[in-house]
Structure 1
Amino acid sequence: MATELILLTGGTGHVGYRTLIEALSKGYRVRAAVRSESKVAEIKAAKSTQQYLDKLSFVIVPNIEKDSVFDEAVKGVDYIVHIASPLARPSDDDEANIIQPAIRGTLSILRSALKEPSIKRVVITSSVAAVSPPEPRVYTADNVEPDPRGPYPHTFAAYAASKKLAYNRTRDFIAQENPHFRVINVMPTFVIGKNELATTPAAVNSGSNALAFTPLLGMHNLNGMPAATCHVDDVAYVHIASLDPKIQGNQNFGVNYDVNGIKWDDTIDIVKNHFPTAVEKGVFPLGGSQTSLPMPFDASKTENILGIKFKDFEEQVVSLAGHYIEVVAKA
């Protein structure tokens, strides 16, 4: 394994950086594809990176959507871990800023991978949104949904559509190209946990982590959010464990702590129990509430095949809240 090289995209994101460190800690060499030199500096400066600098290299890819942009980056690579994709951020044009970049970025790296015979496996960060059905029923990462059609009522709907479309185009690619490599799609629910590269309170309270902060910071979301979460450590583990040649290729791995769901408002009691001093100091105002909507996603296959026991919601919140306290103290 010491000589095996991973091309990894999205390494400055929440899931991406944790997966980068997971890969390095397991003995892989990593070539991180980043958009700019400032991203290189950000990764190099992080504490967890320091012991692995001799196994880490970088390639600048400013726009992952362009055809052939990864042709040089994939040369000599054994594996690809493709994590970079647009998040569910407000946009004046969801089709141009969320949906098409997700599709084009995925197809771009897959097409470049076709040109490099050394590549054995490509792991893609998808999402539970790629396979979630419109009706409330228990489903798995092997569910298949038809292509969605806009217009989309809100940003999250556009994000979910981008994931379904990117996944369906990946399936089409495999069927049409019959590539020499195998593809794994990793489908997490809302990812909760410490993001080491987040060094301000606002940065910590962003992305899917922001959902856990709603009750803690005294905010209210009575419309609710799907109550399905997973620990960022587990998501990183699944990405890298999926590279094992003993694991069958061309399959999907869901990541979700509990098919029955969690309760967002439980964050209040968790923080009270683990961080009473921070609560007394007002770091967490508490008093908020967020309705928990069902998302019965069964990811038990992943635990069985990869030999992992997903961390529970309490561990997820403790990881996130502990980091937030540290960052607030330095602000």
Structure 2
Amino acid sequence: MAGELVLLTGGSGHVGYRTLIEALSKGYKVRAAVRSESKIAEIKAAKPTQPYLEQLTFTIVPNIENDGAFDEAVQGVDYIVHVASPLARPSDNDEANIIQPAIRGTLSILYSALKQPSVKRVVITSSIVAVNPDSPTGPFTADNVEPDPHGPYPHVFAAYAASKKLAYNRTREFIAKEKPQFTVVNIMPSFVLGPNELATTTDAVLSGSNGAALGVLFGVKNPNGMPAVTVHVDDVAFLHIAALEPKVQGNRNFGANSDVNGIKWDEAIDIVKKHFPTEVGKGVFPLGGSQVSLPFPFDASESEKFFGFKFKDFETQIVDIAGYYAKVAAGKAEL
């Protein structure tokens, strides 16, 4: 409930920062766990943070993989929202740089929570790839369970997907073995699109999933394609904080995906032509790209039914991120 204390990790990331603001706007007090003083300064200086500075404190956790890394951070908290996890970035050692950090970071915060009687619930940012079958023949949901994958992995995204499956499976084992006093909720989003309000350069705006979505606006051609599943960052943040509500039965999952039938990546071009004709004319969005849309039938409608809301559609996602990009490119974003 509002006024209670939430420990939040990953608050300087795309999903994490939006979730931080969501928690503060709902009246929670937040203790943000960050890796360095520079991250504290970045979050405190951002315009969306300004109305909530009195509700916000920080704790530095330099390495989330260490046993007991969060022992001090969890003191006196009511809830934990664990967003921090490695992204799918090129690496010379996927096991050491992507897979193990995802597993150890999750287990570290769970075992620290186990030592703190005040913790009522832990919400974890998982992913659609934690539960997707290798070759889905029909719609699957956030309640699907897959066996542990095994390397070597052919590319970095396969290693990222493995990290999410393994972290989720270890979480399930933790619950079964330790029977904690708190409950666990996993949020499983598809590709997350929307403004990252900590991004102050066009390159930063186009990092992660946003870059994959907007590539077609900048002439990028991807004949291999991308899974055609997206969700607005606002909806992902909403689910993280709504999952703290007492009405939510614990030890369950919520998917986050806007369209089980899939979006069409190339439609971003027509959306931008419609909403940003001036920017297209000026070459801010040169267009000319293409990206194959791969079927990925993830059904997250149960989340809509449970919380009584509707996921923002692909057009809204593109309008919001393209609009933010245009403002940053023009130096007009309120940063």
- Per the normalisation by structure 2, the TM-score is 0.98
Give the CA deviation at 1:3: 2.9
Which residue pairs with 1:198 in the alignment?
Answer: 199
Task: Find the aligned partners of 2:219 and 2:133 in 1 and give their Cα distance.
Answer: 32
Which residue pairs with 1:148 in the alignment?
Answer: 149
Give unpaired runs (5+ residues) of structure 1: none
Task: Find the aligned partners of 1:161 and 1:149 in 2 and give their Cα distance.
Answer: 8
Give the counterpart letter for 2:152 in structure 1. Answer: P
The DSSP-based 3-state class of the residue aligned with 1:330 is coil
Give the CA deviation at 1:211: 1.1
Give the CA deviation at 1:135: 1.3
- Give matches, 1:254-273, under 5 Å: 254-273=255-274
Which residue pairs with 1:31 in the alignment?
Answer: 31
Residue 48 of structure 1 pairs with residue 48 of structure 2: yes
Give the counterpart letter for 2:9 in structure 1. Answer: T
Task: Find the aligned partners of 2:163 and 2:247 in 1 and give their Cα distance.
Answer: 31
Give the counterpart letter for 1:280 in structure 2. Answer: G
Give the counterpart letter for 2:290 in structure 1. Answer: S
Residue 244 of structure 1 pairs with residue 235 of structure 2: no
Which residue pairs with 1:131 in the alignment?
Answer: 131
Give the counterpart letter for 1:316 in structure 2. Answer: Q
Give the CA deviation at 1:2: 4.0
Which residue pairs with 1:66 in the alignment?
Answer: 66
Give the CA deviation at 1:152: 0.1
After superposition, the Cα gap between the structure-2 partners of 1:38 and 1:270, relative to the gap in structure 1 and judged at 3 Å, is same
Deviations 1:74-117, CA, capped at 9 Å, x for gaps: 01000000000000000000000000000000000000000000
The DSSP-based 3-state class of the residue aligned with 2:292 is strand
The DSSP-based 3-state class of the residue aligned with 1:183 is strand
Give the counterpart letter for 2:202 in structure 1. Answer: P
Which residue pairs with 1:80 in the alignment?
Answer: 80
The DSSP-based 3-state class of the residue aligned with 1:171 is helix
- Give matches, 1:301-316, under 5 Å: 301-316=302-317
The DSSP-based 3-state class of the residue aligned with 1:132 is coil
The DSSP-based 3-state class of the residue aligned with 1:67 is coil
Which residue pairs with 2:89 in the alignment?
Answer: 89
- Give matches, 1:160-309, under 5 Å: 160-309=161-310
Deviations 1:25-80, CA, capped at 9 Å, x for gaps: 00000000000000000000000000000000000000000000100100100000
Task: Find the aligned partners of 1:285 and 1:269 in 2 and give their Cα distance.
Answer: 12
RMSD of equivalent CA atoms: 0.7
The DSSP-based 3-state class of the residue aligned with 2:86 is coil
Task: Find the aligned partners of 2:277 and 2:233 in 1 and give their Cα distance.
Answer: 24
Give the CA deviation at 1:255: 0.2
Task: Find the aligned partners of 2:21 and 2:209 in 1 and give their Cα distance.
Answer: 20
Task: Find the aligned partners of 1:306 and 1:172 in 2 and give their Cα distance.
Answer: 27
Task: Find the aligned partners of 2:271 and 2:26 in 1 and give their Cα distance.
Answer: 32
Number of aligned positions between the proteins: 331
- Give matches, 1:310-325, under 5 Å: 310-325=311-326
Which residue pairs with 2:12 in the alignment?
Answer: 12
Give the CA deviation at 1:145: 0.3
The DSSP-based 3-state class of the residue aligned with 2:141 is coil
Give the CA deviation at 1:186: 0.2
Deviations 1:106-155, CA, capped at 9 Å, x for gaps: 00000000000000000000000000001122100000000000000000
Task: Find the aligned partners of 1:20 and 1:2 in 2 and give their Cα distance.
Answer: 14
Task: Find the aligned partners of 1:16 and 1:322 in 2 and give their Cα distance.
Answer: 21
Task: Find the aligned partners of 2:195 and 2:78 in 1 and give their Cα distance.
Answer: 29
Task: Find the aligned partners of 2:132 and 2:3 in 1 and give their Cα distance.
Answer: 38
Which residue pairs with 2:108 in the alignment?
Answer: 108
Give the CA deviation at 1:307: 1.5
Moved over 6 A (4+): none
The DSSP-based 3-state class of the residue aligned with 1:88 is coil
Task: Find the aligned partners of 1:285 and 1:90 in 2 and give their Cα distance.
Answer: 27
Task: Find the aligned partners of 1:3 and 1:115 in 2 and give their Cα distance.
Answer: 22
Task: Find the aligned partners of 1:118 and 1:9 in 2 and give their Cα distance.
Answer: 18
The DSSP-based 3-state class of the residue aligned with 1:257 is coil
Task: Find the aligned partners of 2:304 and 2:91 in 1 and give their Cα distance.
Answer: 36
The DSSP-based 3-state class of the residue aligned with 2:330 is helix
